[in-house]
Amino acid sequence: MIRTTNLCRRFRDRLAVDRLTFDIGEGEIVGLLGPNGAGKTTTLRMIAGIIAPSSGQALVDGVDPALDPAQVHESIGFLTESPGFYERLSARRNLAYFARFYDGVDVEAAVEAALRLVGLGDRAADRVGTFSKGMKQRLALARALIHGPRILLLDEPTAGLDPEAARDLRSLIVRLREDGATVLLSTHNLAEAEELSSRIAVLRTRLVALDTPGALRSRREKPGVDVRATTWNDEAIRAVTAESYVLGLSGPSSGLVRFRLADPGGDRPKLVAKLVEIGIEILEVTEASRTLEDVYLQLVREEEA
């Protein structure tokens, strides 16, 4: 549904997006992760046909947005970073205004359906200026969905929302996923990306990684072992580090030390025995799983280096 090939965008002497190549299949949700200035919004804008690439190509359902933006706009829904509404007009009037730009849309029915979908049916007649940020964001999603697009581009949909509003919006996106929508979602929220996305693309001007959240977590390093104890002392740490199967450790932090082992499965009993032998009072031993945040930060640091 969405394909980019060597997509580049340069703003004067600054390269914002560098040779970005990826495919997103029908019904897939791909989370676009990256620090500020990584090129996430620029990528979405190029795919949406709002700005043209400096080189390379994007295809949306087989159509190049740089060549025929109007046709692409008929098939996509774009939730921009800022919701942006005419504050002196009602929610209904705002949506109707945007809906009238699309061909073959029954404006009245589409507006009412979109308002119901985002739970704003009872506030339809109210001026948008009276809405909270969460309500505006939900209304912006309604606007993006007003013409029933099969492809959604969502630029930081939950940014700045309180936890409850963010959860409501994520539930909505999950429902869209269940209805078969293809979604490219830019976010800073790693948990959100993991919850919603079938694959995650890490972007830092260029594409650093693109994989499923599980594969991203496990592909970089073997998981270690977390040991929680009542107390740790330097002597014990030195003694354990001297063992040949201990490749490294981090901590202690709040009684927890994370050990990196040559063979986490096989070496774990040896590690526990050693710790008992030197008098460490163990409370808990668990397999250390790398979070998506660990992976993301490592990828970004590697890219910076």
Binding site for another protein (CB under 8 A): 11, 45, 48-52, 69-71, 73-74, 76, 78, 80, 82-89, 93, 97-98, 100-103, 140, 143
Nearest-approach distance from CB 239 to another protein, in angstroms: 60
Query: Which residue number, 107 or 256, has a Cβ lying nearer to another protein?
Result: 107
Nearest-approach distance from CB 3 to another protein, in angstroms: 19
Nearest-approach distance from CB 170 to another protein, in angstroms: 21
Query: Which residue number, 114 or 275, has a Cβ lying nearer to another protein?
Result: 114
Query: Which residue number, 86 or 219, has a Cβ lying nearer to another protein?
Result: 86
Dist. CA 169–CA 254, nearest whole Å: 35
Nearest-approach distance from CB 20 to another protein, in angstroms: 18
Nearest-approach distance from CB 48 to another protein, in angstroms: 5
- Closest CA relative to residue 90, chosen from 110, 109, 113, 115: 115
Residue 142's SS3 state is helix
Dist. CA 95–CA 105, nearest whole Å: 12
Query: Which residue number, 13 or 103, has a Cβ lying nearer to another protein?
Result: 103
| Buried-exposed string 37-63: b where 16+ CB fall within 10 A, e elsewhere | ebbbbbbbbbbbbbbebeebbbbbbeb
Query: Which residue number, 183 or 227, has a Cβ lying nearer to another protein?
Result: 183
Nearest-approach distance from CB 81 to another protein, in angstroms: 8
**β-bridge pairing 199-204 and 29-33:** parallel
Dist. CA 53–CA 55, nearest whole Å: 5
Nearest-approach distance from CB 11 to another protein, in angstroms: 7
The residue whose two tokens read 């001007």 is: 205
Query: Which residue number, 169 or 209, has a Cβ lying nearer to another protein?
Result: 169
**β-bridge pairing 256-261 and 246-253:** antiparallel
Q: Where do runs of H (alpha helix) occur along the chain?
A: 40-47, 69-75, 91-99, 107-117, 133-145, 163-178, 190-196, 213-219, 234-241, 264-277, 292-304
Query: Which residue number, 47 or 257, has a Cβ lying nearer to another protein?
Result: 47
